[in-house]
Each structure stands twice: as C-alpha cells, then as structure tokens.
Amino acid sequence: MSRSTDLRNLILGISGVVALALVFREWTSFSNAATAAFGFLIVVLLVASTARLWVAVATSIAAMLSFNFFFLPPVGSFTIADPQNWIALLAFLAVSLVATNLSAVARDRTQQAVTRRDELGRLFALSRDILLITDSREANASLAGFISRRFDLDYVAICLPSESEWRIFEAGSLELTLDPQKLSSAYTRVLEHHGLEVDARTESGQSTLTVGAHSVRLLPLRLGTKPIGLLAAAGRPIEPGTFDALAGIAAIAIERAQFLEERRLAGLSRQSEELKSALLASLGHDLRTPLTAT
C-alpha cells in the first residue's frame, strides 16, 4: 500500500471512531460503556482488516481515548475517577491491539499465499515456454526474454562463461552493461562454495551488482550441483526461494538447448554421411556401368 492509502485509511478509521462516539452520545439508549466498547472494537477490526498494522494501532489508540473521554466518568475529561475503570480501559486497549495484530497477521499470510501462488504460476508458465523452444541457436536469448516477460523484470541476462570471455544473452526494457570482471569474481565465489550444503550454497551464491542507478541481482545457474553460469535480474523484488527455483529452471533450459544443438549437429553429420554414401554409391555405379556394357 502507498503512503496516501495509509493516510486515507487512518483518516477514515479515526473519523469512524469519532462519528460512532457522537452517535452513541446522541442516542442515550446506546450510551452505556459496554455498548460503546463493542462498537469501537468493530471499527478497529474493520480498519485492521483493510489497512496496515500501524494504521490499525493508531485507530485503536483513538478509540481508547474516545472511550475514555465520552463514556468513562468523569465524562468529558481524560481523567479516570474510578480505579476499576482503568481496568476496563486497559482491557479494551489490550483486546483491540491483540485483535488488530491477529487480523494483520492473517492478512499478511493471505497475501503471502497469493504471492506464492502467483510465483508458482509464473514458474509453470516459464516451464511451458521452455518446452516450446526448438531453435537451439536462439534458445538462450529466448529464455532471457521469457523470464523477463513472465516475471515482469526490467532486465534479465543469461551469463555463460567461455574460455576467455562471457557470453551474455539479455532481455528487458533496461539496457545495462555488465562488467565481465565483476561477473568473473561472482562466479569464482560460486565455485568456492561449490561443496557447501544446499541452503548455505544458495545464500552464499546470491550477490548484487550496482550498474549505474540500478541494482542487479546475481544467482548461480546450476545443473545439479555443478555451476554453469549466472542469472542476472533487475526490477521488481522476487522472493529468494522463487529466485532460486527460477535459476534452476533456467539451468535446465540451457542444458536442453545444448542437447538440441548436439542433436542438430548429429543430424547434420548423419545427413552428411548419408550424402557421402549416396554419392560414392552413385559414382561406383557410374564406373561399373561402362565396364559391364563392354
């Protein structure tokens, strides 16, 4: 939520508390403290279900002050004459804060579940896109484009080391230039932590580069446990577990592209051998034909 949305929710919450207090004061039949406390608690719960925690806490404090000012004697003052009313006031504040916290936790967990569901859907869609790649020569560039589009990233790069340089396949709306030396340093750290446990290896392999005004996250591409390159991404934040799964799928796609290329080369070699055999057979036939005719 944006700051303007939070301020709007805060204003609405406090306005609801004040309006409810005035209504209860005007209707004498609903002006007892117990009814007012339940009414304020409903307003707090409504705010907690739709706003951030700090907004709901501020509304709870406003409700407590209104409850004290309008319904606890002496009415019209923030002082409390009867010590028992302190217990009632603190109990109201405690209930409203606990209910607010529980509502905020439930809302956050729901949001996390929705986010994970969406990320899982993105991973599934990416896997389907990879299966549709048939041109091995454009496979890595297509893979970067699919990742950028499916995960709404501004920049994606598949970085594969070769003997003397990096082969980088880029996609996205941003145009960034990655420093080969920094890529080599990050890849060296990945190789150094190659023998660690999975969780430690994942945490140590992730790093960040600053390119201009943009932060680029790096994650190793691994086939099983063997590092084969780096995945660079910039744009919206991605949960670390999802980012690691994304790198795993990308590594599998790269291996598949290599397999397709090997199969294509094997097919070309087989066709070349078949052509040579047909040509030799044709030449042999042409050479034997005159001898047979004589």
Domain boundaries, the chain: 3-114, 133-274
- What span, in angstroms and rounded, lies between the C-alpha atoms of 184 and 163? 12
> Which stretch, 1-15, 66-80, 179-193, has highest mean pLDDT?
179-193
In the beta sheet, which residues pair with residue 21?
none
> According to CATH, what is the number of the domain 133-274?
3.30.450.40
- Residue 6: CB atoms within 10 A of its CB come to 15
Q: What is the pLDDT of residue 197?
A: 47
Query: Which residues, in sequence order, are CB contacts of 171 under 8 Å at separation 6+?
Result: 141, 144, 145, 147, 148, 149, 155, 156, 157
pLDDT tens digits, one per residue of 51-62: 787 888 888 888
Residue 157's pLDDT band, with cuts at 50, 70 and 90, is very high
- pTM score: 0.62
Query: Which residues, in sequence order, are CB contacts of 189 under 8 Å at separation 6+?
Result: 204, 205, 207
Q: What is the pLDDT of residue 201?
A: 47
Mean pLDDT of the chain: 80
Strand order in 153-161's β-sheet?
Answer: 166-171, 153-161, 226-235, 214-223, 207-211
